[in-house]
Chain A
């Protein structure tokens, strides 16, 4: 039967208005407090004195008002990643404000120019990263490290210019693997921060809309890599990620990858919740389909592909720090 009675009207009290939204949170909070989790002092005090109005007032701030510091942190963090991506693609395309970066990538730029559509793709990626940077800045993100093109070392040596990723400047396949990894890191980073934005619906929605763009980017680069390496079947034409760690990178076409690059790829596709993760909301996604998928089909790879996984902020910082000259926090 219809539940129209739950719709809010102008004649209801403020308590009626907020309670459906905070109810789940309240129950979760009570559980959390019972388990000794930290919470805001005012909320704890409200509950301690058994004052529902006090606790509710604190909870409303907690769940919907405050969080602003968290949202600000996410915005600032996202901006760093977008600037990094943007400056990488500008260097590749030769449009960086840093002449040395343009020069460094000149060899691979010439190789890309020989592959139909490759430069147009890189230009589209760079355009979106520029747009994301501008969008974040216009919506409150602060470039608190004053990052510019000169803030990066794309070889991964924090300024020494001789890091393990230097081959991206001279080998197209190496560059494409780096670009794929950067985009997938972006997808995983935004996913990991979504929960921190749940109190700010506008920012959350914008972040989701950036997040899916990064997913499209990553898929396109995976397709480019597969098309130029037909036997690299672990890189799917569907643009999705199979397995976790180095296997998920699909780096089999890179000869003698430096150990530090292998370690980086392990981290990019690994982490506390690896891309190989099969357990979603407490259920093994490789077995949920039962007989809905053909018998004999190995469901584990499909279930890994069907869900992209998050990275924590600390994991992302550890991955990208070698490319940033300033120290990330």
Chain B
């Protein structure tokens, strides 16, 4: 039987976020002590109020209604952030395929749209399963905005370029906040696919007369050091909100643990 000194009793989930409890928790882990989680801790953990790694806080939650608050201080929160973006992309491409103009698009563009829909749906569903009960709820999409964006070829391609470059920016900016190498690898596996998508859409738009040369990796997107775009989560979510695509309000409840870097944003006017 462990002595009182070697036992830490956690009565409520909130206690875990307090410095003294966390320090004790760490100390006891180090010396083989006991940590007792009373039933009240689990009772406090609803499906929309997930527990993240110890000391890191939950990943998402605060959902319900029309709002989601992200705790970006741990991997669960960062993956939920990615999940939100993949939901946005998957929802958009699904709407493109269901739109009345889809059949009138060129064979090349149709092939690309089908591919992108498939990839983004797979990203979305994969992340949903990785997150399990910690996943944020399904985001609501603004039907009017979606209808406008899918009304014709040019708006479809412009929106796709915006979303793909935003996705690249987001993954490039958030990778440094992941603490688990397995999660970092998965994010890396996804971001290069988003970059391929972005290059394809940009190349298609160049052929259709969009201004710029070598747009697939144009000087508007790759800086003089040869580095791609990147945005911190707050800037990404601000852009997401500005698109008016998502009716669910996505906010940052807790900032990432770590130092933000200067943003290298994709152009807003494309």
Contacts and interface: CB of A to CB of B under 8 A. Distances in A.
Interface of A: 1-8, 12-13, 15-16, 19-21, 23-28, 30, 47, 50-52, 55-56, 120-121, 123-125, 127-132, 134-135, 187, 190-191, 194-195, 198, 201-202, 204-206, 208-220, 222-223, 236-240, 280-281, 283, 285, 288-290, 292-293, 297, 299, 302-303, 305-310
B181 A281 contact: no
B30 A52 contact: yes
Contacts of A129: 226
Contact of B259 (A51, A201, A236, A308): A201
Interface residues of B, number: 90
Contacts of B124: 292
Mostly, the A contact residues are helix
Contacts of B230: 205, 208-209
A1 B108 CA distance: 47
Contact of B168 (A27, A212, A220): A212
B185 A293 contact: no
Given A191-B192, A219-B200, A19 B23 contact: yes
B209 interface: no
Given A6-B57, A135-B226, A205-B176, A305 B118 contact: yes
Interface in B170-220: 171-173, 175-176, 178-182, 184-186, 188-200, 203, 213-214, 216-217
Interface stretch (B48-56, B149-157, B236-244): B48-56
A68 B131 CA distance: 32
18 contacts: A7-B73, A13-B19, A21-B258, A50-B30, A134-B226, A191-B185, A216-B216, A220-B216, A237-B108, A238-B197, A239-B199, A240-B193, A240-B196, A281-B126, A292-B124, A305-B118, A305-B119, A306-B123
Residue of B58, B75, B119 with most partner-chain A CB within 10 A: B119
A147 B227 CA distance: 23
A210 B254 contact: no
Q: Which 4 A-B pairs have the closest CB atoms?
A: A131-B226, A52-B30, A215-B195, A3-B57
Given A52-B31, A205-B261, A237 B112 contact: yes
B119 A16 contact: no
